[in-house]
């Protein structure tokens, strides 16, 4: 039986696949709006850290006035297996958001498995920053149920969400995603499918160029960011933004763009690759272009 959709609310459950930065951020957004969440990841260590991470993000969101005052936090359940998503007909989630690593093969594998588990009509949502949705649709059981989102980090603070309509995405799927985002008080902007869509296709090559400027010795990371903030109105500067995205995630997205567009400006520059090889991944690792040691993630 196909799942039924109205406005998501009490008694409904969202499933999130992947307990990395974006997966936990999306889960925290939903929990903070009173929605129950099942968060699935294969890494037990990551799952052990999830309650504290999500609790911290929900508290920060409340302090910043980014959550509705009347909402009690939704229940959070974690699991190691996709099979944990569906333990009976009544247990099916209203939607599944995939937020695993930005690798087409890894995403296709997870999406294929989950689309075979959930009832027809359940939106299967890939939170990809660059991989075309129609490319991923070839792996799923029902391409009409697949749609893309691109939440920005942190999801509880940034209200606009890029929504990607694949060539085979159904209107019912888009409507269900709009209802979900409305329940989370997010504003969807629907765009057509292409490598990197809008935000990553513009932002990620620009960050890559900013890193090249630092590598050439023209200016420090701090100077680049201050100029972009003060002169061009960029809220945080491209290099602080890179640290927030995660330099490893940025490199993965740039490789996706490079391989699918042929744009040499999307080839990750050497300094970016060196930082990733050294384990300096940005805010989540404690060091990237800036030092975050001692800060709570």
Tens of pLDDT, residues 78-137: 999 888 776 544 568 999 999 999 999 999 999 999 999 999 999 999 999 999 999 999
- For residue 136, the model assigns a pLDDT of 98
Kindly state the average pLDDT of the residues 35-49.
94
Kindly state the average pLDDT of the residues 219-245.
96
* pLDDT beyond 60 at 295: yes
pLDDT class of 55 with cuts at 50, 70, 90: very high
- For residue 1, the model assigns a pLDDT of 25
Tell me the C-alpha to C-alpha distance, in Å, between residue 291 and each of 47, 104, 273: 26, 31, 18
- pLDDT tens for each residue of 11-41: 579 999 999 999 999 999 999 999 999 999 9
Least reliable range by pLDDT among 55-69, 161-175, 274-288: 55-69
Least reliable range by pLDDT among 151-155, 190-194, 212-216: 151-155
258 is catalytic: no
* pLDDT beyond 80 at 220: yes
- For residue 4, the model assigns a pLDDT of 33
Q: Which ranges in the chain are annotated with CATH 1.10.1040.10?
A: 201-283
- For residue 293, the model assigns a pLDDT of 82
Identify the DSSP state of 190: E
Give bridge partners of residue 40 from the DSSP assignment.
17, 79
CA 79 to chain centre: 19
Q: Map tokens 């190691």 to a residue.
A: 80
Q: Which ranges in the chain are annotated with CATH 3.40.50.720?
A: 13-192
Rounded to whole angstroms, the Cα distance separating 41 from 243 reads 23
Q: Map tokens 């893309």 to a residue.
A: 148
One of 33, 150, 258, 280 is an active-site residue; which one? Answer: 150
Q: Indicate whether this model's pTM tops 0.85.
A: yes
Q: Options 1.10.10.10, 3.40.50.300, 1.10.600.10, 1.10.1040.10; which CATH number does 201-283 get?
A: 1.10.1040.10
> Of 164, 131, 154, nearest to 241 (Cα)?
154
- pLDDT tens for each residue of 4-16: 333 445 557 999 9
> Of 162, 236, 154, 171, nearest to 196 (Cα)?
162
Give bridge partners of residue 164 from the DSSP assignment.
148, 191
Q: Which residues contact 255 (CB under 8 A, 6 or more apart)?
A: 266, 268
- For residue 90, the model assigns a pLDDT of 54
Mean model confidence pLDDT for the chain: 92
Instruction: Give the strand order in the sheet containing 13-17.
Output: 76-79, 36-40, 13-17, 95-98, 124-127, 146-150, 160-165, 187-192
**Could you tell me the CATH superfamily of domain 13-192?**
NAD(P)-binding Rossmann-like Domain (3.40.50.720)
Q: C-alpha angle with apex 32: 237 to 152, nearest 5 degrees?
A: 25
């Amino acid at each position: 039986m196909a799942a039924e959709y109205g406005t998501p609310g009490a008694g409904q459950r969202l499933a999130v696949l992947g307990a990395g930065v974006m997966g936990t951020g999306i889960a925290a957004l939903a929990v903070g709006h009173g929605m129950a969440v099942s968060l699935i990841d294969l890494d037990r260590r990551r799952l052990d850290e999830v309650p504290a991470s999500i609790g911290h993000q929900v508290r920060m969101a409340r302090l910043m006035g980014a959550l509705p005052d009347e909402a009690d936090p939704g229940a959070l359940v974690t699991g190691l297996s996709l099979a944990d998503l569906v333990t009976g007909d009544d247990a099916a989630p209203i939607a599944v958001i995939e937020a695993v690593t930005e690798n087409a093969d890894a995403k296709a594998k997870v999406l294929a498995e989950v689309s075979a588990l959930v009832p027809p009509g359940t939106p299967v949502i890939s939170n990809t920053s660059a991989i075309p949705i129609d490319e991923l649709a070839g792996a799923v059981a029902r391409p009409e149920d697949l749609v893309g989102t691109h939440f920005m980090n942190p999801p509880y603070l940034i209200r606009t969400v890029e929504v990607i309509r694949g060539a085979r995405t159904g209107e019912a799927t888009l409507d269900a995603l709009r209802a979900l985002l409305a329940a989370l008080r997010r504003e969807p902007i629907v765009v057509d499918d292409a490598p990197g869509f809008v935000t990553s296709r513009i932002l990620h090559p620009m960050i890559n160029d900013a890193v090249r400027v630092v590598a050439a010795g023209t200016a420090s990371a701090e100077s680049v960011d201050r100029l972009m903030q003060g002169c061009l109105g960029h809220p945080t500067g491209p290099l602080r933004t890179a640290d927030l995205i995660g330099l490893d995630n940025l490199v993965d997205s740039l490789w996706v763009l490079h391989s699918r567009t042929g744009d040499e400006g999307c080839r990750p520059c050497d300094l970016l690759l060196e930082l990733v090889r050294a384990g300096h991944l940005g805010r989540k690792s404690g060091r990237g272009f800036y030092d975050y040691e001692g800060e709570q993630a």
